[in-house]
Amino acid sequence: MDKDEIKKVTDRINELYHKKENEGLTPEEEAERKELHKKFLANFRAGFKQQLEDTVIIDKDGNEVTSERAKRAQRKKGLRKD
């Protein structure tokens, strides 16, 4: 999702939340809320996974201690030459 779509999804989730708190939601709105929530979480998880996979960990002595799993993911993406 791009930034505009994320903002629209977040705004609509918040709008539905406030409506739910004040007057309740129709079954259609509740279904919409659930779908938007799934979309938001999927986007969040994908971004978080991307961030973790791109992280290189260096210990206090200057040695790289990145996990092998992260190194494999980085190689697959072409971010590592080793």
CATH 1.20.58 fits 3-76, yes or no: yes
Residue 81: per-residue pLDDT: 84
Interval 19-69: pLDDT, tens: 999 999 999 999 999 999 999 999 999 999 999 888 999 999 999 999 898
For residue 82, pLDDT over 90 is answered with no
**Average of pLDDT values for 64-81?**
90
For the chain, what is the HEC assignment? CCHHHHHHHHHHHHHHHHHHHHCCCCHHHHHHHHHHHHHHHHHHHHHHHHHHHCCCCECCCCCECCCHHHHHHHHHCCCCCC
